[in-house]
Chain A
Amino acid sequence: MRELLTSIRRTPYQSLAVFSSLLLTLFLSIVLIFCINFLYGLLGYVESRPQVSIYFQNQVSESDILKVKEELLASGKVESVKYVSKNEAYDTYKQLNKDNPLLLEMVSPEILPASLEIFATKPTYLPDIANFLNSVSGKDEVNFQKNIVDKLLSLTSVVRVVSVSFFAFLMITTIIILMTITHFKVALKRDEIELMRLMGASAGYVRKPFLDESMFLGFVSSTVVYLVFIGIVLLGNPALESYLRGIQTLFVDVYGYKLVVWPISIPYGIGLYALLTFFGVGMAAVSTYFATHKYLFVERT
C-alpha cells in the first residue's frame, strides 16, 4: 500500500486524470443502469395493473355485475376477473389517502363505484374485451391500459438500446483514455522495466504495481461515485415519492427473484455497488493490461 500511494504521489496528474475519467464514466453508468432498472420496474408495475377495468353505475346490483364477470370468463379470452365491491374500493381509497383526512371525510363507500378488474389471456384480446364492456348496460366507465403499456414498452426498448450503445461507447472511450494515460506512466519507468526484465522479473511482476494502482483508483472512484449517487437519490427522494404517489414499490425480475429497485432496497444497493466496482476495477485493469503489454512483450530477434 505504501508503494502504491508513493507511486500515485510521484505521478499526481496522471493519477488524477485516471481518477477523473473513471469518475465521469462510472457516474454516467450508474445513472443509466438505475434509469433502465427504474423503467423496467415501472413497466412491470403497469403490466401488473388490471389491463381493463369497468366501473359500474351506483344502481347496478352486485348480481348483475357478477353475471358480467361470468360472461367474461366464459369467453375464453380472459385469464382472471376480480370483483371490487364499493366497500373494497373505499378501503383502497382510505389506504391511498390515509395522510389526508379532508379527502377521507368527503368520501363514503356509497359514492365509490363497484368495478371489475380484468386480465386478458393475450394482449390481442384486449380491444374485443373493451368493446364488449362498452356494450354492458349500467357501465359508468371503461379503462383500457393497452396504449400506456405499449408506449412504456417502446420507451423502455428505446432507452435500453440507446443506453447500451452509449454505455459501450463510454466504456471503450474510457479504456482508450486510461490506456493513453497509463502509457505515459509506463514510459516514465521504461528503464526500470527493462532492467527488471533483464534481472529476471516476469511480465506479471512488472505489471503488478501498475495494475494495483489502477485497480485501486478504480475501486476508489466507484466508491465515490456510489456515495454521490446515493446522496443525490436521498436528496431527490421527496420529489420522486410525490411523483410516484400510489406506487409503493417498483421491482425487476432477476431470474425469478423480485429485486426491489424503488425505494432502493439493500440487495439492490449492494448489487449496484458491486456492478459499479466491477466496471471501475475492470476498466482500469483492462486498460493497464494493454498499456503495459507493448513494453513487456518486445519480440527478441
Chain B
Amino acid sequence: MIQFENVSKLYPLGNAALSDVSFAIEDNEFVFLVGTSGAGKTSILNLILGDLYPTSGSVIVDDRDISNKKLVKFEELRKHMGVIFQDFKVLQDKNVFENIALGLRISNKPLTVIKEKVSEALHLVGLSDKEFYFPLQLSAGELQRVAIARALCGDRHIILADEPTGNLDPKTTWDIMKIFKKVEHERTIIIATHNTDIVNSMKKRVLVLKQGKLIKDMQKGGYEL
C-alpha cells in the first residue's frame, strides 16, 4: 500500500511542487496520474521512489514511512519497485537480456533464476526472439517493452511509469498498455501520463493534479484537467 498524508514539497527556491496532497493506493491497484506539465505528477513518483523527500507530511510505502531519509534504506525499498521512463533508459552497451536482467542481478539472484525470469518477461512483452539484440537494433516500441520487462522482472510489485507512451505512436501505445493490463492483478501500477485516449478507455482510478494540488480522485475515471 502507498499512502500520502498531507504531503507538501517545496523546492529550494521556494516553488511548491506539491501542496498538502493526501491519497492512498491499495496493493495491485492501477492508477493514472494526470495533470498539466508541472502539476506534480513526477514529484509524486519521485517521492514514492525515495528520490525526493517531502518538505512536510508523510509518505508511507509498504507500511514504512519513507519521509525520513535517515531512517530508510532505500536500496531495499527500491528492489520492490520497477521504474519506466519516457526515454526508456535502456543501456546501449548491453543487449536485451542483460538490460532485463539488471534488476535481478542487483537483487543477487542466481543465474538460473535470472535466465528463467528474463525468459518469462521476454515472453510477456513479446520479445522472445530478440533476446540478444542490442538497443540500436530495436524500434522505440521495442525499447519501451524492454524497459517494461526490466521493471516487471523479479519481485518488483510496484510499477512507476512516467509518461511511458510519450514517445510512441498510437498503435504501439496500445500494445504497451496491453502489457500493463496483463500484469495489473499482480502489481500496483502508477502511470503518469498526458495521453487522454488511454486514460479514458481504460477506466481506471485517476488522480488529477493541478499546480501541486490533488483536485480530483476518481474511481474508473477519465482524463480531466
Q: Which residue of B lies closest to A199 (CB)?
A: B103
Q: Which residue of A lies closest to B89 (CB)?
A: A195
The stretch of B46-54, B56-64, B122-130, B186-194 in contact with A is B46-54
Main DSSP-derived SS at the A contact region: helix
Contact A199 B91 (CB under 8 A): no
Residues of chain B within 8 A (CB-CB) of A197 are 78
Contact A301 B52 (CB under 8 A): yes
Contact A200 B51 (CB under 8 A): no
Chain B's nearest CB lies how many Å from the CB of A188?
9
Residues of chain B within 8 A (CB-CB) of A201 are 75, 106
Report the contact-size class of chain A (Cβ under 8 Å from the partner).
10 to 19
Contact B51 A198 (CB under 8 A): yes
Q: How far is the CA of A200 from the CA of B154 in the complex (A)?
A: 12
Q: Does A196 lie at the interface of the complex (its beta carbon under 8 Å from any beta carbon of B)?
A: yes
Q: Given A195-B91, A300-B69, A200 and B53 touching (CB < 8 A)?
A: no
Q: Which residue of A lies closest to B80 (CB)?
A: A200
Complex partner residue of A199 from B50, B53, B79, CB under 8 angstroms: B79
Q: Which residues 177-207 of A sit at the B interface, judged by CB distance below 8 A?
A: 191-192, 195-202, 205
Q: Which residue of B lies closest to A198 (CB)?
A: B83
Chain A's nearest CB lies how many Å from the CB of B95?
12
Contact A301 B106 (CB under 8 A): no
Contact A10 B75 (CB under 8 A): no
Residues of chain A within 8 A (CB-CB) of B51 are 198, 300
Q: Does B12 lie at the interface of the complex (its beta carbon under 8 Å from any beta carbon of A)?
A: yes
Residues of chain B within 8 A (CB-CB) of A10 are 93
Residues of chain A within 8 A (CB-CB) of B81 are 199-200
Chain B's nearest CB lies how many Å from the CB of A284?
23
Chain A's nearest CB lies how many Å from the CB of B126?
23
Chain B's nearest CB lies how many Å from the CB of A194?
8
Q: Does B116 lie at the interface of the complex (its beta carbon under 8 Å from any beta carbon of A)?
A: no
Contact B107 A200 (CB under 8 A): yes
Q: How far is the CA of A192 from the CA of B82 in the complex (A)?
A: 15
Chain B's nearest CB lies how many Å from the CB of A15?
16
Q: How far is the CA of A245 from the CA of B70 in the complex (A)?
A: 68
Mark B22-60 against chain A: 1 for CB-CB distance below 8 A, else 0: 000000000000000000000000000111110000000
Q: Which residue of B lies closest to A202 (CB)?
A: B75
Q: Given A300-B52, A301-B53, A200 and B79 touching (CB < 8 A)?
A: yes
Q: Does B77 lie at the interface of the complex (its beta carbon under 8 Å from any beta carbon of A)?
A: yes
Residues of chain B within 8 A (CB-CB) of A199 are 78-79, 81-83, 102-103, 106
Complex partner residue of B77 from A196, A200, A205, A301, CB under 8 angstroms: A200
Residues of chain A within 8 A (CB-CB) of B75 are 200-202
Residues of chain A within 8 A (CB-CB) of B169 are none
Report 7 cross-chain contacts, Cβ distance below 8 Å, ordered by A residue. A192-B91, A199-B103, A199-B106, A200-B79, A200-B103, A300-B69, A301-B12
Query: Which A residues lie at the B interface, using CB under 8 A?
Result: 10, 191-192, 195-202, 205, 300-301
